[in-house]
Amino acid sequence: MTLFQRLDAIAVVTLDHPPVNSLSHALRRHIVDALTAAEADPAVQGIVLVGNDKAFSAGADVTEMGTPRQLAEPMLTQVLARLESCRKPVVAAIGGVALGGGLEVALSCHGRVALERARVGLPEITLGLIPGAGGTQRLPRLVGVATALDMILSGQPRSARALADSGLFDAVVADDLVAAACACASRLAAAPLPRARDRQADAAAVRTAVEQARARLNARQRLQPAYGAALEAVAATALPFDDGLARERALFLELVPSRQARALRYQFKVEREAVKLPADFDGAPRPLQRVAVIGAGTMGSGIAISALDAGLEVILLEQDGAALARGRERIGEHYRSRVAAGKMAAAVAGAAEARLRTTLDWAALAEADLVIEAVFEDLAVKQEVFRKIDAHARAGAVLATNTSYLDIDAIAGATARPQEVLGLHFFSPANVMKLVEVVRGARTRAEVLATGMELGRRLKKLPVLCGNAFGFIGNRIYNAYRRQCEFMLEDGAWPEDVDQALTGMGFAMGPFAVADLSGLDIAWRMRKAQAASRDPRERYVPILDRLCELGRLGRKSGAGYYAYADGKQVATTDDTVRALIMQASAARGIERRPLSAEQIRRRALLAMVNEAALLLAEGVAVRASDIDVVLVQGYGFPRWEGGPVFWAREQERATLEQELEGLAAIVGHGFVRGDLALLLD
Ligand code: NAI
């Protein structure tokens, strides 16, 4: 392979490891060899490193992780030292992305030139790490501590256009990247070579910026060690460069094996697995261009927005004109506010809205490749809707229901083509939440499932395959968890004890705050519907029913488990609720004992783990890790704790088994014990 091409006095070194120039051993070797050759060539005055259209370099090579090649020389840090000490100016020409180690390469060059559309960032924090090859030391020296902290703590890439005046780039150009980079290298050759390491930061300014950033961390960030480590590493820019570099390295190496970083790596991997159908269920997806959504309520409008954003045509159908107009308005308002906030170009929003057609005429369904209903959660209503869908949808159309709990087969049975029916369970708000449970009915064809998964991917979501069981994966686990949390109220905890224990480990919200937010009446209605079939020997906590009887339906009625003043939750439960809870304990003959945060967490997690084992045994989940993806993406489980299955795998097996015995005693009649071996082995 040629090491470089010479353009006049500049050696142009092309990084050539498609698709994204990940920093494999071969590429690292190539950079060093090219530098050595260019340095030795008297006709060369400067060097330009350029990637491909997509990427300057997207960072470390994940396929090398944990293999000897990752540590084979030259290691990344050696490449960077070589770049920095090159006697001729080296300029990074960034056309696509420069991320993580890729940006660290660019930071070690003497100059940087980028296309306006290039994107640069240090995403390590999203994997529970910090940049480990000088990113925390060189970036602040170039762009200032505040901007560097923003980039390191958010992990989000920024466009070169937005960073044009930051000090990161010598030039940001619209086109002719290589020419601009060559001109930059020639310019730099005339003077002492600028190196990030030679700039000394102002110690007081560093301290102030770091403390301000620390104060801005939110509660969930504070729980993750990588945020503290990132602040500490950036604070070390006040030290001499090599000391700062050593500090960064030590912090990085400490994070790599941490539970949180392992959990985030695990999530990264299992999310990619979850969206693939196992071979037994896989088929070829059918073409998708036009989607019909029935019901223009909360979910229907969200699903419609999501499909419009993905470039699909949408037919939105309702039963009455007023509801249709409200749905149309909700979608219009969404696009207006996106444009007003500068998040979407007016032309893009206009084009999305132009793909939307609203109608009251069922005959319009004949034009759809996929029909999804999001009407009221009532089996009879859904069956009636599916009879109409069956009458109008064309042959070969995929028919989907967004039901949260209902039996897919009972819905499919209303049609003459149950093999074309599946569940597509979106989460609210449907245009924001990434999870979609793709539910397989008894007769669903493989290609119908594949089309459901494909729709999920087209909508930039995370589709996860589930079997048809009450609550599918997510709500089934959530119900077991919520039920366990209700037991804890009877056993001695207050709602705030439970909620705080769980938010204290990183849950987005506690179960009682969630219940108040979604409204207690939904659960109340379901509990009443199930009352006749409930086994009286089962442990049943009546607190929610009593709250509803008092008109405490949650946040919308001003009170639920908590009281709300000016729309804000009052921190502790009031006397009325405490009295109700104490009555429930007394009725069950329980002597209340306070529960520690740790006891609360373990009981809540164990309830999830047991249900996860049952779901796996029943085939509702096909992979244990899918359960973790569902809980993290749909239920606010802290991503950096990996999910209930990941958690269980971190525990002592014997302790878990023993605690499950305890759980059986707590739950009592009707408890079914899951087989941990399915999850852990
Ligand atoms: P919603 O009450 O906001 O909207 C339902 C819409 O369907 C209404 O506009 C109604 O006019 C329309 N509709 C009712 N019967 C109809 C019929 N026969 N033909 C045409 N349109 C009809 O309800 P939401 O919250 O959007 O829920 C819809 C479905 O999505 C339910 O099955 C629900 O379980 C499910 N779901 C709801 C979630 C949520 O958080 N709200 C989350 C996930 C699923």
Atom number in ligand 1 closest to CA 381: 18
Rounded-to-integer distance, Cα 445 and Cα 451, Å: 10
Pocket test for ligand 1, best of 373, 375, 379, 427 (most atoms within 8 A of CB): 375
Residue 298 CB–ligand 1 contact under 6 Å: yes
CB of 52 within 8 A of CB of 96?
yes
* Residue range 10-37, pLDDT digits in tens: 999 999 999 999 999 999 999 999 999 9
Tell me how crowded residue 203 is: count the other CB atoms within 10 A of its CB.
12
Q: What is the pLDDT of residue 281?
A: 86
Residue 153, domain CATH: 3.90.226.10
425 counts as catalytic: yes
**DSSP per position, 451-482:** HHHHHHHHTT-EEEEEESSTTTTHHHHHHHHH
Q: How far is CA 140 from the centre of its chain?
A: 28
Residue located nearest, by CA, to atom 15 of ligand 1? 375
Token duo for residue 105: 């390469």
User: Does residue 371 have its Cβ closer than 6 Å to ligand 1?
Assistant: no
Distance in angstroms (rounded) separating the CA atoms of residues 512 and 142: 47
The reply to whether 31 falls in a domain is yes
Compute, in angstroms, the gap from residue 425 CA to the centroid of ligand 1.
12
Extract long-range pairs of 143-146: CB within 8 Å, 24+ residues apart: 143/167, 143/168, 144/209, 145/201, 145/205, 145/206, 145/209, 145/210, 145/234, 145/237, 146/209, 146/212, 146/213
Note the pLDDT of residue 158.
Answer: 97
| DSSP secondary structure letter of residue 579 | H
Give domain status of residue 502, yes or no: yes
Q: Are 421 and 408 in contact (CB under 8 A)?
A: yes
Do 501 and 598 lie in one domain? The reply is yes
For residue 486, give both structure tokens.
């209700």
374 lines ligand 1 (CB under 6 A): yes
Let me know if 437 is a catalytic residue: yes
- Going from the Cα of 390 to the center of ligand 1, the distance in angstroms, rounded, reads 19
**Furthest CA-CA distance within the chain:** 92
pLDDT of residue 201: 86
296 in ligand 1 pocket by Cβ < 6 Å? Answer: yes
Pocket test for ligand 1, best of 293, 294, 299 (most atoms within 8 A of CB): 299
- Domain stop point among 445, 471, 497: 471
- Asked whether the beta carbons of 470 and 476 are under 8 A apart, the reply is yes
Q: Is 278 helix (H, G, I), strand (E, B) or coil?
A: coil
Q: Which of 57, 306, 404, 625 is catalytic?
A: 404
Q: Are residues 41 and 87 in the same domain?
A: yes
Structure tokens at 502: 């769980």
Query: What number does the ligand 1 atom closest to the CA of 403 have?
Result: 32
Determine which one of 437, 447, 454, 496 is catalytic: 437
Cis amide prior to 495 (ω within 30 degrees): no
| Interval between CA 463 and ligand 1 midpoint (Å) | 20
Backbone angles phi, psi at 364, to 5 degrees: -60, -20
**Does 140 share its domain with 234?**
yes
CA of 296 to the centre of ligand 1 (A): 7
- Whether 276 maps to a domain, the answer reads no
CATH number of the domain enclosing 375: 3.40.50.720
In this prediction, residue 563 carries a pLDDT of 94
Do 65 and 149 lie in one domain? The reply is yes
Amino acid (one-letter) located at 160? A
Q: Which residue has 């003459």 as its token pair?
A: 416
Distance from Cα 348 to the centre of ligand 1, integer Å: 28
Q: Could you give the count of Cα atoms lying within 13 Å of 10 in the half-sphere of its Cβ? A: 25
Asked if residue 260 belongs to a domain, the reply is no
pLDDT < 50: residue spans in the chain: none
Q: How many CB atoms lie within 10 A of CB 455?
A: 27
| Whole-number Å distance between alpha carbons of 110 and 49 | 11
In a domain, 270, yes or no: no
569 and 460 co-located in one domain: no
Which of 453, 471, 489 delimits the end of a domain?
471
- Give 6's contacts (C-beta < 8 A, 6+ positions apart): 12, 41, 43, 44
Closest to 375 in 3D by CA, of 414, 419, 337, 336: 414
Model confidence over 39-89: pLDDT tens digits?
999 999 999 999 999 999 999 988 887 788 888 999 999 999 999 999 999
If asked whether residues 394 and 486 sit together in one domain, one would say no
Is the CB of residue 428 below 6 angstroms from any atom belonging to ligand 1?
A: yes
Residues 610 and 542 placed together within one structural domain of the fold: yes
Omega into 287 within 30° of 0, i.e. cis? no
| Other beta carbons less than 10 A from residue 453's beta carbon | 25
Asked if 259 and 650 count as a contact pair (C-beta separation under 8 A), the reply is: yes
Query: Cα-Cα-Cα-Cα dihedral of 534, 537, 539, 542, to 10°?
Result: 60
557 is catalytic: no
CA distances from residue 397 to 30, 63, 294, 367 in whole angstroms, order as listed:
52, 40, 14, 9
Instruction: Give yes or no: residues 485 and 426 share one domain.
Output: no
Domain edge (last residue) among 411, 443, 471: 471
Q: Tell me, what's the pLDDT at 386?
A: 98
Q: Determine if ligand 1 sits within 6 Å of the CB of residue 358.
A: no
DSSP element (H, E) containing 381: helix 379-392
521 C-alpha to center of ligand 1: Å?
Answer: 16
Backbone angles phi, psi at 675, to 5 degrees: -95, 105
pTM, full prediction: 0.94
DSSP 8-class letter at 169: -
Residue 269 belongs to a domain: no
Complete DSSP assignment for 6-38: EETTEEEEEP--TTTT---HHHHHHHHHHHHHH
AA identity, residue 317: L
Answer yes or no: 21 catalytic.
no
381 CB within 6 A, ligand 1: yes
Query: What domain range includes position 560?
Result: 475-680
Q: Are residues 460 and 509 in the same domain?
A: no
Residue nearest to atom 25 of ligand 1 (CA): 298
Domain count, the chain: 3
425, 496, 611, 659: the catalytic one is: 425
Q: Are residues 450 and 559 in the same domain?
A: no
Q: Among 594, 626, 595, 627, which Cα is nearest to 610's?
A: 627
CA distances to 409, 465, 524, 645 from 469, in Å: 10, 12, 21, 20
> Do 393 and 509 reside in the same domain of the chain?
no
Residue 1 has a pLDDT of 62
| Same-domain pairing of 442 and 483 | no
The verdict on the CB of residue 294 being under 6 Å from ligand 1 is yes
* 374 CA to centre of ligand 1 in angstroms: 4
Residue closest via CA to ligand 1's atom 37 equals 299
Nearest one of 543, 430, 527, 431 to 486, comparing CA atoms = 543
pLDDT tens profile 344-387: 999 999 999 999 999 999 999 999 999 999 999 999 999 999 99
Pairing mode, if any, of strands 313-317 and 356-359? parallel
In sequence order, which residues have a C-beta less than 8 Å from that of residue 139 and are 6 or more positions away?
A: 103, 107, 122, 131, 148, 151, 152, 168
Q: Whose CA is nearest to atom 44 of ligand 1?
A: 404
DSSP state for residue 405 in the 8-state scheme: S
Burial of residue 532 (number of CB atoms within 10 Å: 0-12, 13-18, 19+): exposed
Contact 646, 264 (CB under 8 A): no
Strands 398-401 and 421-426: parallel
Please give the pLDDT value at position 347: 97
* CATH code of the domain covering residue 488: 1.10.1040.50
Backbone Cα Rg of the chain: 29
CA angle, residues 462, 465, 467, in degrees to nearest 5: 145
- Side-chain-facing half-sphere of 615: CA atoms under 13 Å: 35
Q: Where are the alpha helices (DSSP H) in 10-164?
A: 25-40, 68-71, 76-84, 101-108, 135-143, 145-154
Kindly state the tokens that stand for 659.
Answer: 């605690």
CA-CA distance, 124 to 535, in Å (whole number)?
51
**Residue whose CA is at the smallest distance from ligand 1 atom 38:** 428
Specify the residue with its C-alpha closest to ligand 1, atom 17: 319
What end-to-end distance do the CA atoms of the chain give, in Å?
47
Q: What is the pLDDT of residue 390?
A: 98
The answer to the question of residue 268 being in a domain is no
CA–centroid distance, 301 to ligand 1, in Å, is: 10
Chain Cα centroid distance, residue 37: 44
Report which protein residue has its CA nearest ligand 1's atom 3.
297
What amino acid is encoded at 528 in this protein? K
What's the residue count for the chain? Answer: 681
- The alpha carbon of 418 and the centre of ligand 1 are apart by a number of angstroms equal to 21
By the 10 Å C-beta count (0-12 exposed, 13-18 middle, 19+ buried), 43 is classed as: exposed
Does 277 map to a domain? no
